[in-house]
Amino acid sequence: MSTLPDPALGAAVKAADRAHVFHSWSAQGLIDPLAVAGAEGSYFWDFEGNRYLDFSSQLVNTNIGHQHPRVVAAIQEQAARLCTFAPGFAVEPRSEAARLIAGRTPGDLNRIFFTNGGAEAVENAVRMARLHTGRPKVLSAYRSYHGATAAAIHLTGDPRRWPNDSGAAGVVHFWAPFLYRSPFHAETEEQECERALRHLEDTVVFEGPATVAAIVLETVPGTAGIMVPPDGYLAGVREICDRYGIVFVLDEVMAGFGRTGRWFAADHWGVVPDLMTFAKGVNSGYVPLGGVAISDEIAATFEKRPYPGGLTYSGHPLACASAVATITTMAEEGIVENAARIGADVLGPGLRELAERHPAVGEVRGLGVFWALELVRDRTTREPLVPYNAAGEDNAPMAALAAACRAAGLWPFVNMNRIHVVPPCTVTDSEAKDGLALLDEALTVADRHTA
């Protein structure tokens, strides 16, 4: 891809996009996608010669940064050897990726079912839980995202579900802990944790435990706001699942593979689910890949009985080769440790300092390279900077803030009334500091809307 400015090529790319590409989650006539010329490490650039510091990691997936040479080489080498082979065969990159992933996942999650991404991983986790328990229902949290396919979108607990909800998927939603906007009117983390667990257990009891196959949770909810759960919550959910014979599914599609400064977010609390979904960071999205890590007990259900699910590209050799290279490189180059250190030493303190200076910042939360700034009109009332699920004029303050970031050369992930600071796990100290300085400047745009 080009590194020199080439506005004519950019215009051609854009024109073909506008004529023929149908974009996700968008009103096709109201969007103006940036034409991207190339990317490397923590940066990408357009055809006009503008460079952006990628504080989004795209959709929070390029954990190893853009165009890591070891991953690119592994894909090229695998392409020369064997591009594709059906999932019914044992092939080297697939078995090696499964071995490496099973070696990193907690507890006895020893078997890996591969998918092409996160939503399919969630679909299959739900299917496994239903078949394993013989029960129909699944519980998932409000303020969550689990993907855009049938079961996954029904589990999703935010407005992306609303237009897609058939109302018939056997999903019941509950509230997970979120002290800043506590559904339980709690004042401390301990209260929030205790009340959230009581609420969840009540939900199970009143739904009828014998009808509940699974509880599905993002370990740290991502697109819904990066709410780090209070200590004790996930262990408490584990206990509820054990008490009622419910399968505990942790969705680590976004939080997994280094994002939180540990290989998996569950490692922060030593919790072992029965099924764990992953995607994104497993190979930084260089080739689509996701999957479900399966406990020995659930795998045993399908030892003599066939598993009734599969995908043509399950464990695609190019995707798996890039996963092997990504995981090996992350381990050898200390990339997970880098994410933890950058979070503890640079991003965490730096973002808290921004919060002190900018009245629009209501709360800073996160860990590793997984941070959210929650923006408000008024710190006392916590009124969000824009209304929940705002669009058009109502969303103007957030649109202006996003535009100010981008004009300054910073590309964070922006959702509702939040800026997510989610750079690659490879981000350097100086890049992180540069990004904070650019954000500091852009936040003045949000401050203008405060009380």
Interacting residue with ligand PMP among 254, 339, 405, 445 (CB under 6 A): 254
Q: Map residue 17 onto helix, strand or coil.
A: helix
CB of 226 to ligand PMP, least distance (A): 11
Distance CA 274, CA 214 (A): 10
C-alpha distances in angstroms, 346 versus 146, 192, 258, 338, 438? 30, 28, 17, 11, 14
Interacting residue with ligand PMP among 111, 132, 146, 449 (CB under 6 A): 146
Residue of minimal Cβ distance to ligand PMP: 118
Residues touching ligand PMP, count (CB under 6 A): 16
| Closer to ligand PMP by Cβ: residue 142 or 184 | 142
Tell me the window of 83-91, 246-254, 374-382, 410-418 that interacts with ligand PMP (CB under 6 A).
Answer: 246-254
Please provide residue 427's backbone torsions phi and psi, each rounded to the nearest 5 degrees: -55, 140
| Closer to ligand PMP by Cβ: residue 50 or 58 | 58
Amino acid at position 343, single letter: G
Site string for ligand PMP, 31-60 (x = CB under 6 A): ----------------------------x-
Measured between its terminal Cα atoms, the distance across the chain in Å is 46
Interacting residue with ligand PMP among 46, 218, 374, 431 (CB under 6 A): 218
| Closer to ligand PMP by Cβ: residue 285 or 397 | 285
Q: Map residue 2 onto helix, strand or coil.
A: coil
Given a contact cutoff of 8 angstroms between Cβ atoms, the answer to whether 241 and 350 are in contact is: no
CB of 279 to ligand PMP, least distance (A): 5
**Which are the contacts of 83, defined by CB distance < 8 A and separation ≥ 6?**
317, 318
CB of 76 to ligand PMP, least distance (A): 24
Q: Is 292 exposed, middle or buried (0-12, 13-18, 19+ CB in 10 A)?
A: buried
CB of 176 to ligand PMP, least distance (A): 13
* Long-range CB contacts (within 8 A, 24+) of 23-32: 24/148, 25/160
| Closer to ligand PMP by Cβ: residue 276 or 299 | 276
**Which are the contacts of 39, defined by CB distance < 8 A and separation ≥ 6?**
1, 45, 54, 66, 67
Token pair recorded at residue 22:
């149908």
Residues 276-305 that bind ligand PMP (CB under 6 A): 279, 290
CB of 25 to ligand PMP, least distance (A): 11
Q: Map residue 43 onto helix, strand or coil.
A: strand
> Any idea what DSSP says for residue 89?
S
Distance CA 412, CA 52 (A): 10
Contact call for residue 147 and ligand PMP (CB under 6 A)? yes
Tell me the window of 198-206, 226-234, 247-255, 377-385 that interacts with ligand PMP (CB under 6 A).
Answer: 247-255
Distance CA 260, CA 369 (A): 6
- Sheet of 109-115: strand order equals 109-115, 290-295, 275-278, 247-251, 212-218, 137-141, 171-174
User: What are the helix (H) ranges across 245-334?
Assistant: 296-301, 317-332
Interacting residue with ligand PMP among 35, 39, 122, 193 (CB under 6 A): 122
Interacting residue with ligand PMP among 223, 284, 417, 426 (CB under 6 A): 223
Tell me the window of 35-43, 125-133, 144-152, 319-327 that interacts with ligand PMP (CB under 6 A).
Answer: 144-152
CB of 114 to ligand PMP, least distance (A): 13
Picking from 170, 382, 275, 422, the residue whose alpha carbon sits closest to that of residue 266 is: 275
Interacting residue with ligand PMP among 145, 178, 264, 371 (CB under 6 A): 145
Residues 3-22 that bind ligand PMP (CB under 6 A): none
Contact call for residue 251 and ligand PMP (CB under 6 A)? yes
Site string for ligand PMP, 100-119 (x = CB under 6 A): -----------------xxx
Contact call for residue 158 and ligand PMP (CB under 6 A)? no
Token pair recorded at residue 160:
């992306």
Distance CA 432, CA 440 (A): 12
Picking from 90, 93, 97, 40, the residue whose alpha carbon sits closest to that of residue 65 is: 40
Tell me the window of 86-94, 139-147, 179-187, 226-234 that interacts with ligand PMP (CB under 6 A).
Answer: 139-147
Tell me the window of 179-187, 201-209, 217-225, 436-444 that interacts with ligand PMP (CB under 6 A).
Answer: 217-225
| Closer to ligand PMP by Cβ: residue 279 or 410 | 279
CB of 150 to ligand PMP, least distance (A): 12
Interacting residue with ligand PMP among 39, 139, 253, 339 (CB under 6 A): 253
Token pair recorded at residue 440:
């500091």
State the residues that interact with ligand PMP by CB under 6 A: 59, 117-119, 122, 145-147, 218, 222-223, 251, 253-254, 279, 290
